């Protein structure tokens, strides 16, 4: 009985279904709004794509510049290192030679002094190299 | 109560959705013309208000236009479309009343039944459906007028099929109570 009643109610409800007719204004408005939203989104998308492309181009150009600049910079760095190495070597050489010369000179002067003392002691009038 | 016409309707909606998904904007008008009255009826069940239902329909159309592939790619485009309308209707309700849910929307007052002709009887039945809490009313609309299965209704509502079925059962109990005099007339006429 309950099921039968439910079935009857269901049939009554089904028979009472309506199809409210949307107004022409609503149709016009809904479609216009939708199409406008579609175009606005397409426009926004184009702007984003353009911005992304621009960023990509700038980034690529920057990368390329860095890549191109890298060998030149490396060459300069190598040259500078080489110069610095050379300068150090020259300085070291000069220092070491200077010491040697200094030692030689000191030794020479010391011997020269000794020879003068000897010459004075021996009474020899001749000067060295004469 | 799923019949051939309902199935044909779903197939047509799927076809328009597919066309829309391919970027054919002319399908938008076709889709609107094909579904608007049903969507409006469903939205009105939720909003209890024609203007809000129209707003929900418009918002749903915009949403579908912006994401046509979502509709085209849906397993069941028609329930998906109904779900979009439902979401928009709920959004409007929420805007109108803070923390409003379907359960809290007050039902419309009961109208007196009297001697009715068929048209009046139908109006009475529609009024009785509007008297239901919207959460139950929408299940009745989807089940009986849209011919959907509980599985499809559950998909629209975002609930389990059991919940949809129990809401339907409660709704029919209430409708039986409200429409009992009329049901007796029809049964025993």
Question: Domain range spanning residue B159?
Answer: 109-189
Which segment of A17-31, A99-113, B20-34, B40-54 scores lowest on mean pLDDT? Answer: A99-113
Give A12's contacts in chain B (Cβ within 8 Å): 121, 125, 179, 182-183, 186
Do B130 and B175 lie in one domain? The reply is: yes
* Total-model pTM: 0.66
pLDDT at A101: 63
- Partner residue facing A38 (CB), from B36, B65, B145: B65
Select from B100, B119, B151 the last residue of a domain: B100
Chain A residue with minimum CA distance to B173: A6
Do B61 and B114 lie in one domain? The reply is: no
Select from B57, B79, B100 the last residue of a domain: B100
Distance from CA of A51 to the nearest CA of B (A): 21
Q: What angle do CA A45, A62, A73 make, to 5 degrees?
A: 170
Mean pLDDT of B44-63: 90
pLDDT at A119: 63
Q: Which residues contact B38 (CB under 8 A, 6 or more apart)?
A: A19, B145, B146
Q: How far apart are CA B10 and CA B38, in angstroms?
A: 12
Complex ipTM more than 0.90, yes or no: no
Looking at per-residue pLDDT, the higher value among A77 and B146 belongs to B146
Do B117 and B180 lie in one domain? The reply is: yes
Do B95 and B5 lie in one domain? The reply is: yes
pLDDT at B10: 86
pLDDT exceeds cutoff 60 at B188: no
Select from B66, B100, B134 the last residue of a domain: B100
- Partner residue facing B44 (CB), from A9, A20, A35: A20
Distance from CA of B160 to the nearest CA of A (A): 22
Give B175's contacts in chain A (Cβ within 8 Å): 9, 13
pLDDT at B115: 45
Do B188 and B131 lie in one domain? The reply is: yes
Do B115 and B67 lie in one domain? The reply is: no
Distance from CA of B126 to the nearest CA of A (A): 7
3-state secondary structure of A81: helix
pLDDT at A121: 66
B65, A37: Cβ pair inside 8 Å?
A: yes
Do B21 and B56 lie in one domain? The reply is: yes
Average pLDDT value over all residues in chain B: 82
A27, B33: Cβ pair inside 8 Å?
A: yes
- How many structural domains is chain B composed of? 2
pLDDT at A2: 41
Half-sphere exposure of B138 (CA within 13 A, CB side): 32
| CB contact at 8 A, B21 and B68 | yes
DSSP B116: -
- CA neighbor of B51 nearest in space, from A111, A103, A22: A22
| CB contact at 8 A, A30 and B63 | no
What does the pLDDT look like over B65-75, one tens digit per residue? 998 888 888 88
Residues of B with a Cβ under 8 Å from any A Cβ are 1, 25, 28-29, 32-33, 36-38, 40-41, 44, 50, 54, 57-58, 61-62, 64-66, 121-123, 125-126, 129, 140, 144-145, 172, 175-176, 179, 182-183, 186-187
Do B96 and B123 lie in one domain? The reply is: no
pLDDT at A6: 54
Mean pLDDT of B127-142: 89
What percent of chain B shows pLDDT beyond 70? 83
pLDDT at A79: 78
pLDDT at A96: 67
pLDDT at B163: 93
Mean pLDDT of B74-97: 89
**Which residue in the block uniquely carries the two structure tokens 């024609």?**
B50
Query: The domain that contains B76 carries what CATH number?
Result: 1.10.1740.10
Do B93 and B19 lie in one domain? The reply is: yes
Do B120 and B92 lie in one domain? The reply is: no
- Partner residue facing A37 (CB), from B41, B62, B123: B62
pLDDT tens per residue across all 130 residues of chain A: 344 445 678 888 888 887 888 888 999 999 999 999 989 988 999 999 999 999 999 999 988 888 887 777 777 778 778 877 777 776 676 666 666 666 666 666 666 666 667 666 666 555 555 4
pLDDT at A11: 83
Do B114 and B31 lie in one domain? The reply is: no
Do B177 and B123 lie in one domain? The reply is: yes
């Amino acid at each position: 009985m309950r099921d039968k009643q439910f079935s009857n109610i269901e049939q009554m409800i089904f028979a009472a279904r309506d199809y409210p007719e949307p107004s022409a204004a609503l149709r016009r408005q809904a479609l216009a709004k939708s199409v406008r939203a579609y175009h606005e989104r397409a426009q926004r998308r184009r702007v984003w794509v353009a911005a992304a492309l621009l960023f990509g181009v700038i980034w690529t150009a920057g990368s390329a510049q860095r890549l191109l600049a890298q060998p030149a910079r490396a060459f300069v760095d190598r040259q500078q290192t080489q110069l610095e190495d050379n300068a150090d070597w020259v300085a070291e050489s000069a220092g070491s030679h200077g010491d040697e010369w200094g030692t030689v000179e000191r030794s020479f002067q010391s011997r020269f002094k000794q020879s003068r003392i000897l010459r004075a002691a021996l009474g020899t009038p001749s000067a060295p190299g004469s | 109560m799923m019949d051939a016409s309902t199935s044909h309707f779903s197939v047509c909606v799927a076809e328009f959705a597919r066309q829309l998904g391919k970027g054919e904007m002319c399908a938008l008008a076709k889709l609107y013309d094909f579904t608007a009255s049903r969507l409006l009826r469903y939205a009105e069940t939720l909003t209890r208000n024609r203007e809000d239902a129209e707003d929900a329909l418009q918002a749903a159309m915009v949403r579908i236009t912006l994401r046509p592939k979502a509709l085209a790619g849906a397993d069941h485009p028609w329930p998906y479309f109904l779900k979009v309308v439902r979401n928009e209707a709920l959004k409007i309700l929420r805007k109108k009343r803070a923390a409003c849910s379907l359960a809290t929307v007050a039902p419309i007052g009961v109208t007196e039944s009297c001697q009715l002709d068929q048209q009046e009887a139908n109006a009475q039945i529609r009024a009785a459906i509007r008297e239901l809490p919207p959460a139950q009313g929408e299940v009745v609309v989807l089940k009986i007028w849209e011919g959907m299965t509980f599985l499809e209704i559950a998909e629209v509502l975002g609930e389990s099929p059991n919940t949809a079925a129990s809401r339907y059962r409660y709704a029919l109990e209430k409708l039986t109570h409200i429409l009992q005099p009329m049901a007796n007339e029809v049964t025993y006429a």
